[in-house]
Structure formats: C-alpha cells, structure tokens
Structure 1
C-alpha cells in the first residue's frame, strides 16, 4: 500500500463479496528480449507423425513472440559451442537413444549451467539409460491407452504455461502413464483425472505437466502432444509458449516441489470476511480487488508457524499487499497496527515495494528484480512464518528475511489477509494455500516474551515448585524449553500451574510431568499461550518486564504481557 490505514479515513462496515465475470484476459506484457530456441526431434524408436506440425507451431510461436527457431535431427548440434547460442532446447517427440556420450556431456553442462529444456510428449520415452536425462525430464514413460478424451486438472494457474487454463481442461490426446510420480522433485502444474477416461494406472495423483530446476537450469515437460490436432489448439499452443518462455528464463515461476498445503481460497470464499470499504470480485477461481481501502481476511482460523503461498497479478502500476500476524477484528486499522504487510507495488520505495515488509524492512532489490514478473503476468509469494521470523520468497527466490522486534506486533500468531487498496489499484489473487508447520516433532530453545525477555527457571533448580519467571535472555540451560506435544519442558520437567488452580494469578512453576491439564499449553490468539485446564493465558504478572517477574495465568486479554514466541 502507498498509504497506511492510519493515514486515510476508513469506514468499518463490512462490504459484501461481489461475484462478477473477470475481464477477457490479462494485459499484454512487454515483448521478451529476443532469444534462440533449438527444436530437436530425432527418433530412435516410434516416430510421431505430428512432429512436422509441432515444428511449424513452434516456428509460428517464435515469429510472434521474439524468438528464432532452429529445427534439427542432427545430434552433432549438441556440442558445447553450438548449444551456447540457444536459451532453450525443445525435445519434440523424441524417442530412444538419440545422443552419444560426448553429446550427452555437452547437454548436461549446458542445462546445469543455466540452459533450458522443454520436453513434449514422448520426450519422456527417450534416453532411459542416461541418469541425468531422467532427472531432467522428471519421469519416464511407462504405457498408454488408446487416444481418447480426458479431463486435465490444472492445479497451478500461476505458471505462464497454465495461467490461461481453467481448473478443468477437457481435450483429446494420448495419455501417458509414467514409471514414477514426479511430485517429490518437481512442481506439478496439471494432473490427469483418471475417472474421466479409461487406461490410467497412476491413481488419484497422476501428474501430467510439470516444471523443475536442475541446478541453474530450468525444465518444463508436458505429456500432451501426440496428435497433429494438438498443435492447432489455442490452449495447447499457449501452454507450450509458456513452457518455452520459462525454460528460456523469460518468465519466472516457483517450480520447487510442493506438497502438504491446504487451500484457503481456490474459488470458494468460505471462511473469509471483508473488513473496511471496497470488496473483491470472485470469478474463475480468481479474487480481484475493487475499491477500498479495505481487506479480505481469513476469519475462520488464525495461524502460527506456517508457509503461506498465494499467486498474484497486477495489470499495471497497482498496489496491494498480504497482511499477516494480526488479531481478529473488523477494523483493518488494527490489522496494520498489530500485524505486518508484505507489499505488492513494484514502483514504490525500497521499504514499501514488492517483497518489502511495509515500513519495516526493504526487500533485497537485486534479488527481487531478478525474480519479478512484469505487470500482466502472475507471480507467486511464499511467506514463511516461524515465530517472529518472516521470510519472503518471490517465485521461489528469497527476497526478504525479517525478524519482528516490535512489542506491539507479533508474527507468532494471527490471521492472514489480502488488501484492496483503492479505486484503480486492481490486483488479482489465486490459489491461496497454507501449510502449518507445528507438527509433533519436539523443538528446543528459549520462550521469549514481554520486553524481549525469556521464560526462566529460577536459579536453574530442578526441584518441583521452582518459580518460573521473566529474565534477561542469556541462552543458559534454565531458559531452554522443549515443545513436546502440548507440554513445555525444561530439565525434563513441565511448566505447570501450581495446584492445578484455574484462578487469576495462579503461579506458574516447574513440576514433574504428570499429563494433567495444568501442564497443557496451546497456541492462542495474538501470540498467547493458553492453559487448557483453565482456558487462561500465560501472563507476566502486573505487566512488568523486570527480571524476576513471576509468570502466572490470567484471563486472556491480548496484551503485550501475554505474548510469547516458542522455539
């Protein structure tokens, strides 16, 4: 945002979500810097009659999109000197062993050094005995049923190869089964729905199109492209163009493997609420801001320790942001005063530009500029929140690493939201998803709280009933706590409410672990730790930050003396 909420008057009446049709398409992006593509279609096995149509399609794409095409079946083109002139190499329906050892070495060096690879259809039926090629293509061909119609499920609509597609894409082709599932090593862009055709053998997770990195190089593969008709289809042609542009490093994408995320928004706004004026249109699995200044926030749940990913696009010089770590409420002023905004606005100053933690820490501008797609193209954010640390990744590249030290704010727990900045600031969002990182694996370290001080076992004593207090952090063993399930342990004993009391002011002490509710603690609102037996919060007595302040339980109120960061 260009202006904080506190510098512009807002109404706080919630605005209803509006569902409208999206525009006919994204704004046209700037032309790519010209580049060169080598199309390789040598076969040592089955030969597809669609190869000429494929070459013609890529030539036409090149003529319209700033790249020249050299088509060859001469493996001698795979020399270090010759490959150096190309930004990417397309393996178009290759089959069998098509390169000798010297040529393989040249191509491997080319890719690992930053070159691009695009594999179409039977490119996965190629070079089975060359380990690097297996790594590059991602998965080898296993079998296929007869040509038939099927539905492709598009799960990543931010990549330039798939951003133009609907979530369900129905077409006719020859559908490959693969010898392995590529999901653990590549970003799957689309899968096959085996319930929509006969002969699939991979089950519910059948990757069909994907991208990945191989050291400094980039790889894109799709199983489509058997039939001659494929190469005349608008959707397929746009997909191949996006794959070529990615492999040639003309557009950026987060192609790291991705598993374990839960959708917060992928078409449905259930669980979301509008705060402040303006709204978001909701169409085609896309939220687009309108009016403002307001915020759409996920009110169904607050989060701590998570990876939040979302895709966003600006049509021009627009403005928005992603807000994290704020308490529940319908006033967006509170969200910015008690949370942090990761900015979306590439034209503002360093501490208020895309990737910046607004007003607190500038983005790494060189890294940001190298990772950022221009207006009209989709970008992907990952916001990795661990305690008070926030790392920002843009299209898979880290552009910011920020640790909150403001006692008024806490990243350790809170809600997430997206901003609608105002009229004319039209930013779109897709595929908002989250992976919570808590898990059951024990974590050990200090528990920091009010005044930046630590939960401390008085004198380092291991006796039952030892006072737990606030003290200057010193990294000593008496300040090392292990989060183990719902217990907080030091010296292999548990943080305990004295006598199992539920009264305000009951003291917190060290005691032998016994599994009682007095020793169970759970993350609460706004960075609090809630004792499960009493429903009350861990509290620094009297809101003091002095060394020796007794920790107690007290009715939860969201104050700074009830905010804690776990290891």
Structure 2
C-alpha cells in the first residue's frame, strides 16, 4: 500500500546506511523452453575457439532450458529452416557467409520478431550486406595484440550484465569498430583504452550492446576470441543473458541513450531519507530496509525530464518511484502532492507495476509482456513533460497519464520508497535527462554560475534550504547552459520583507536582450514565500547563458528561492528512431514540404504542437499527401484543413496512426540517418514506427 505511517515529532531524516546487501535472492523462474541455432561458418579467418564456444552454449542450454542446434551449413537459412528458432547466434563467423536468398530469409526472420546474437568476429562478417551491418551495430576495423584490459560496465540492468562488476579485468582480443554504435544501440559496456595498448576509438569505445531492429532483437559482445573466454563464468553469464534477451525470454530497454546525468551510481550526495527505515548501499546498488520512508534527491527540482532507473524485487515486494513532490522531511508530502509509479505487481489494477498509484492503471497486457519476474532486473523510464507523465517498462510504454488535479503537480523532486520490513527492492543507476525540447527544469536560484552582489543565504522554508539573497538594485546572477526552447512563462518563488522590486530575465549578458520582467512585491515578511510569474518573448532555442538582473529602490529588496521556465502543454519535440526528431525539411513553410528524421536541435522546424488530433509546426499541419492510403505515401507539411489526412492518434505501443488510412507514421527503410523521409506504412512493431510526443 502507499500510505505512510505518521511520523513522531522528534524524528529526523536518516542518512543512507552503508553495508552489506543481505537476504537471500530466489533463483530466477525457469524460462519457457526455446530453441537456438548456432551458426559458425567462416569465409575468412577461422577462430580455434568455435568448438569451445559451441560447447559453452550447449552447456548453457542444458541448464537454461533451451536446445542448441549447431551448423556451418548456410542452407539452414530459409524461412522454413529458421522458423523453429527463437534466436540465432553468429559465433565467430567471418566473411560472406550467406548468399542473396539466404540473406533475404534471415531478414524476414528478424522482421518477424527473431533474435540475433553476435559473438566477436560476427562483426567481421558480411561487409556488403547493409541490413546485417545495421543489425550487428558496427563492423570490425582492427585489433591490437591479445592482452588484458578493463571493461567498464555502463548498464547492469540487463540479464547479460546484472552480475558483472562495474569494472571487469579480463584478457581477450579487443576489437576496434569502423563506427560507434551508440546512436542506434544501448551500449552496455565499454573498453577503457588507458588499460591496454593499441585501442583506436578513444574515450567512448563500445564493447557490448543491444538493440531492437526492424521487429527483432540484437545483442553483440566483442569478447570471445580465445578458447579460454568460453570457460570464464562472467563471460558465460554475458553470453547467456544475451541469448535470453535475443530469444525474448528476458526483457531489457535497449533503446539508444545519451545525455543523462547520474543521480545515484554509488554516491548518495544530494540524497536524504524522509521517514523511518532507509536503504543499504553496496556495489552501487541501493536496497530498501524498513519503512515506510522515502529516499529523495533534494539537490534540485525537475519539471520536464526523463528519469531512468533499474529495479529488482526479490519476490512479492512493494516499492515505488515518487515524482512531483515538494521538499520535506515528511514522506507524507510526497503522497499528498506528488505521484507514485508503482513497482509491486500483485495489487489491484491501479496499484500494480507501472500504475500511477491510485490514479491510472498501466496497460496490463503491455505491462505483462514487458515485465521480468522477481529476481531479475527491470528498467523504468518515467517521462515527464509538463503535466503529462509516461511510463516505459523495459523500453515499452505502458502508461500515459495527464495530471488535472490543481492540488498536485509533476514538477518537483524525485525519490524512491522503502515500503517496510520484508519488502526488499533494489535500485541501480538512477539517472535523469532534462528535456531539450522545453523547460530546462526548476533551478535553485542560489546555484548560479556567476554573480555580482548577491549571495546564497540559508533560510528556513526554502527549497533545498537556501535562497539567493542580499539582492540590491543593479545586482545580477548568471546560469550557464539552460535550455529554454518553447518556454512561454517565467515563474519564480520569492520572499520579501523589504521594499520589493523586479526581476529582469536576460540572455547573453547582464545587459542582454530582456525576455520578460516580473514584479516582486513585499510578500508579508521574510518567512512568507510567494510565486510570481510573467510571460516571455523572443525566447532563443538551444542552450543559453541566462542572467537575472534586479531593480528597485533601496537595499535588501527580496530573496529568490527558485525559478522555472514553463512551456505550453502539448508543445515540443516528436522523437523517434535513434533518438532523432520529426523535422520539417529546411524549415520551409510551403505546402508539400517533406517531413523527415533529423538530429534534434531545438529549432522551430522540430517544435510541434498537439491540437486535438493534429500535429502542427511552423503554423501548418502534419499531413498525408492526397489523403493517400498506400504504403509509401509522402508525409508533408500542409495548410491545416480539418481533413482526415491530418489526424494522428498515438497508440499504447508508441505508434502514431492516421485513422483515415489505418496506417502509421514510419521512417523510410528504418534508416536513422539525418534527412531520411518519413512516410505512411502498414503498422508494425519496429522502432522506425515508435514516437514520443510532446
């Protein structure tokens, strides 16, 4: 249940306890039986580890409930021949292994939901087959001599990486790749090039990754050169987890990811415990103990953001993630003013995994299909845009909720719940990315980048415990790198027992362009806070250096606690394949302008407004050319006309359907390159048809 017990008056917030992660973890439930094909044909260099690798996979199958068929005969690659297998492992294949017909059969297998696992030299295979190169993620370039190196594990929330240490020293042949797969795959581990000699990819050298591709799943590991590799227990765990993911037996969020800031990855700086109980912390993993309480991140508030974290329940355990609550040492404040995203899967529909607790159930069918069982890690993304909250479980959207309660909000702090004794839930890798398509987040005013005259002032009742104080006429404070795209309103929390004055919002310098000015009155005393706001004009796109300048008469005008830039609800980016944006080509406004995929840049050509069932940019509508219904029909910008060609309805799975045709907005050829056109196409499950809306 959600409700916290009342707190005793003398209770103070407790620090996170450092110690052992105690308690037995039940063994994972056995996977439903499945079948794996191991393919090891070589048309180039042949690794002497192929036999050892095949035997290792047979061993894993014997204990993991899957059968293994091993072959070097490419004739197995027909529609009929591939149909029995949930996953196909390319084990140190090299060169051109398949002919055109066999390639076509394998493409059909992947598009029908099949799984691929590439081991080591699988990246040294089929250089002239673009589908395969995209499926693997990157082609082999070169390698230095076999030597020991350090593998840095970025994501330990998948079956392949859950048991690995954060740094893993081992000996192998370390591949460099022709391209970096990070833009199209979720990188799980990288190589530390300072730990060995001969690496050529630099500070970001992916080594293990996963991805979805045209309806199927792909997992790749650069390890596996030597016979000894396949005798290593950690490497076998990577291999088994990759096979389970590819076969659909273990779910993971394998969407590309970049731009996130860590809130917890071993350091509890900025975190506080509200209420009883707490969390133990070992190996950068938090584990709940006692309660009911709340471990919350108080360094700053957030308004529009993507919050990601990995969690694991041992059994029938209860916890949740809270968002949108005010600063308080009383966890009941999160209940009263914020929202909980539930973790326990055994309660009523509006109180189970993925629900907005007590307000909206998850899509239970989608949730059940995406959920890993107790004992395994799951990944949450909680996407907050204004008053809209979406929940993604292992990369699948399972809830879409809009707050309409004036007593609550989605802007505020974030935290995780410790529910009570016996409710054992673990958390890893809590991270956040503020959305570049809108509000940069609520900023604590005392966290300036530079200043003149003002100082941070410790004050009771202030969010985060401090205000920006000692404000006199002519003073200013600077905040570098804020993203204001689409913001229409500036809102500040202020307090004044003095004369009051005004705040001018400027960019570039203390004398730069004024976006807006807001008056600050005497609020009734130096302990009485109030909100003031003003409209904005001329707001630039992209990161800017923001200046607040202060005017008035006298001295000690007012304090500023925090401030927020607010954009209109339903306005921002439409994000699709490879994290790129729906874009009006060349920002042209002529009827018929092609709509395309392009790297997100915060421009007006990528700022879409949802109005009823339309999507509007540059004053015109997203339109199906000629109200067509055929696959491949052009998607264009056109004068808004209320026709069925301009209606778009988001679906639970992330697709965007034009009801007039019954078909979906699709990235042509699933090509993530800039300027790839979008068109109308029969709806499927591929990443090229999944969109995140403002």
Shared fold per TM-score greater than 0.5: yes
C-alpha distance in 1 between matches for 2:121 and 2:276: 53
Please report how far the alpha carbon of residue 311 of structure 1 lies from its aligned counterpart in structure 2 after TM superposition. 0.3
Please report how far the alpha carbon of residue 17 of structure 1 lies from its aligned counterpart in structure 2 after TM superposition. 1.3
Is 1:136–2:135 an aligned residue pair? yes
Q: Is the 8 A contact 1:18 1:281 kept in 2?
A: yes
The residue matched to 2:101 in structure 1 has which SS?
helix
The residue matched to 2:17 in structure 1 has which SS?
coil
Q: Per the alignment, do residues 354 and 170 of structure 1 end up closer, same or farther by CA in structure 2, a change over 3 Å counting?
A: same
The residue matched to 2:415 in structure 1 has which SS?
strand
The aligned residue for residue 200 of structure 1 is 199
Please report how far the alpha carbon of residue 9 of structure 1 lies from its aligned counterpart in structure 2 after TM superposition. 2.7
Please report how far the alpha carbon of residue 216 of structure 1 lies from its aligned counterpart in structure 2 after TM superposition. 1.6
C-alpha distance in 2 between matches for 1:46 and 1:387: 55
The aligned residue for residue 400 of structure 2 is 401
The aligned residue for residue 426 of structure 2 is 428
Q: Per the alignment, do residues 505 and 204 of structure 1 end up closer, same or farther by CA in structure 2, a change over 3 Å counting?
A: closer
Q: Is the 8 A contact 2:488 2:565 kept in 1?
A: no
Q: Per the alignment, do residues 67 and 195 of structure 1 end up closer, same or farther by CA in structure 2, a change over 3 Å counting?
A: same
The residue matched to 1:104 in structure 2 has which SS?
helix
Q: Is the 8 A contact 2:436 2:483 kept in 1?
A: no
Q: Is the 8 A contact 2:438 2:567 kept in 1?
A: no
Q: Per the alignment, do residues 320 and 565 of structure 1 end up closer, same or farther by CA in structure 2, a change over 3 Å counting?
A: farther
Please report how far the alpha carbon of residue 439 of structure 1 lies from its aligned counterpart in structure 2 after TM superposition. 5.9
Superposed CA offset, 1:278-315 (max 9, x none): 01001001000000000000011111110000000000
C-alpha distance in 1 between matches for 2:225 and 2:428: 31
C-alpha distance in 2 between matches for 1:75 and 1:262: 45
Which runs of no fewer than 5 residues in structure 2 stay unpaired?
A: 441-481, 493-497, 505-510, 521-528, 535-547, 570-694
Q: Per the alignment, do residues 367 and 46 of structure 1 end up closer, same or farther by CA in structure 2, a change over 3 Å counting?
A: same
The aligned residue for residue 245 of structure 2 is 246
Aligned positions of 1:423-502 closer than 5 A: 423-438=421-436, 485=484
Q: Per the alignment, do residues 24 and 487 of structure 1 end up closer, same or farther by CA in structure 2, a change over 3 Å counting?
A: closer
Q: Is the 8 A contact 2:487 2:565 kept in 1?
A: no
Q: Per the alignment, do residues 390 and 101 of structure 1 end up closer, same or farther by CA in structure 2, a change over 3 Å counting?
A: same
- The two structures, once aligned, show a CA RMSD in angstroms of 3.1
C-alpha distance in 2 between matches for 1:252 and 1:484: 34
The residue matched to 1:399 in structure 2 has which SS?
strand
C-alpha distance in 1 between matches for 2:530 and 2:422: 35
C-alpha distance in 1 between matches for 2:316 and 2:439: 44
The residue matched to 1:134 in structure 2 has which SS?
helix
Superposed CA offset, 1:482-536 (max 9, x none): x99499669xxx999xxxxx9669999xxxx9834852799xxx99666745699
C-alpha distance in 2 between matches for 1:237 and 1:503: 70
The residue matched to 2:401 in structure 1 has which SS?
strand
Q: Is the 8 A contact 1:528 1:563 kept in 2?
A: no
Aligned positions of 1:107-118 closer than 5 A: 107-118=106-117
The residue matched to 2:104 in structure 1 has which SS?
helix
Q: Per the alignment, do residues 189 and 535 of structure 1 end up closer, same or farther by CA in structure 2, a change over 3 Å counting?
A: farther
Please report how far the alpha carbon of residue 15 of structure 1 lies from its aligned counterpart in structure 2 after TM superposition. 1.8
The aligned residue for residue 236 of structure 1 is 235
Is 1:100–2:99 an aligned residue pair? yes
Is 1:151–2:176 an aligned residue pair? no
Q: Is the 8 A contact 2:503 2:518 kept in 1?
A: no
Q: Per the alignment, do residues 330 and 489 of structure 1 end up closer, same or farther by CA in structure 2, a change over 3 Å counting?
A: closer
C-alpha distance in 2 between matches for 1:154 and 1:94: 25
C-alpha distance in 2 between matches for 1:487 and 1:283: 42
Is 1:9–2:11 an aligned residue pair? no
The aligned residue for residue 298 of structure 2 is 299
The residue matched to 2:332 in structure 1 has which SS?
helix
The aligned residue for residue 338 of structure 2 is 339
C-alpha distance in 2 between matches for 1:195 and 1:325: 41
Q: Is the 8 A contact 2:153 2:168 kept in 1?
A: yes
The aligned residue for residue 86 of structure 1 is 85
Superposed CA offset, 1:444-467 (max 9, x none): xxxxxxxxxxxxxxxxxxxxxxxx
C-alpha distance in 1 between matches for 2:427 and 2:163: 14
Aligned positions of 1:154-553 closer than 5 A: 154-411=153-410, 413-438=411-436, 485=484, 515-516=513-514, 519=517, 532-533=548-549
The residue matched to 2:365 in structure 1 has which SS?
helix
Q: Is the 8 A contact 1:308 1:432 kept in 2?
A: yes
Count, aligned residues: 489
The residue matched to 2:169 in structure 1 has which SS?
strand
The aligned residue for residue 30 of structure 2 is 31
The aligned residue for residue 476 of structure 2 is none
Superposed CA offset, 1:358-413 (max 9, x none): 111111100100000000000000000000000000000001000001111111x2
C-alpha distance in 1 between matches for 2:49 and 2:428: 35
The residue matched to 1:237 in structure 2 has which SS?
helix
C-alpha distance in 2 between matches for 1:243 and 1:113: 19
C-alpha distance in 1 between matches for 2:132 and 2:501: 66
Q: Per the alignment, do residues 138 and 54 of structure 1 end up closer, same or farther by CA in structure 2, a change over 3 Å counting?
A: same
C-alpha distance in 2 between matches for 1:487 and 1:78: 51
The residue matched to 2:18 in structure 1 has which SS?
coil
Q: Per the alignment, do residues 521 and 160 of structure 1 end up closer, same or farther by CA in structure 2, a change over 3 Å counting?
A: farther
More strand by share: 2
The residue matched to 2:60 in structure 1 has which SS?
helix
Please report how far the alpha carbon of residue 27 of structure 1 lies from its aligned counterpart in structure 2 after TM superposition. 2.5
Superposed CA offset, 1:142-188 (max 9, x none): 00000000000000000100010011000000000000000000000
Q: Per the alignment, do residues 530 and 94 of structure 1 end up closer, same or farther by CA in structure 2, a change over 3 Å counting?
A: same
Q: Per the alignment, do residues 489 and 14 of structure 1 end up closer, same or farther by CA in structure 2, a change over 3 Å counting?
A: closer
Q: Per the alignment, do residues 535 and 200 of structure 1 end up closer, same or farther by CA in structure 2, a change over 3 Å counting?
A: farther
C-alpha distance in 2 between matches for 1:507 and 1:529: 10
The residue matched to 2:158 in structure 1 has which SS?
coil
Q: Is the 8 A contact 2:501 2:550 kept in 1?
A: no
C-alpha distance in 1 between matches for 2:483 and 2:169: 48
More helix by share: 1
C-alpha distance in 1 between matches for 2:152 and 2:299: 27
Q: Is the 8 A contact 2:503 2:517 kept in 1?
A: no
Please report how far the alpha carbon of residue 50 of structure 1 lies from its aligned counterpart in structure 2 after TM superposition. 0.4
C-alpha distance in 2 between matches for 1:205 and 1:309: 21
C-alpha distance in 1 between matches for 2:275 and 2:321: 15
Which runs of no fewer than 5 residues in structure 1 stay unpaired?
A: 443-482, 497-501, 537-552
The residue matched to 1:135 in structure 2 has which SS?
helix
Q: Per the alignment, do residues 440 and 312 of structure 1 end up closer, same or farther by CA in structure 2, a change over 3 Å counting?
A: closer
The residue matched to 1:415 in structure 2 has which SS?
strand
Q: Is the 8 A contact 2:277 2:292 kept in 1?
A: yes
C-alpha distance in 1 between matches for 2:44 and 2:107: 22
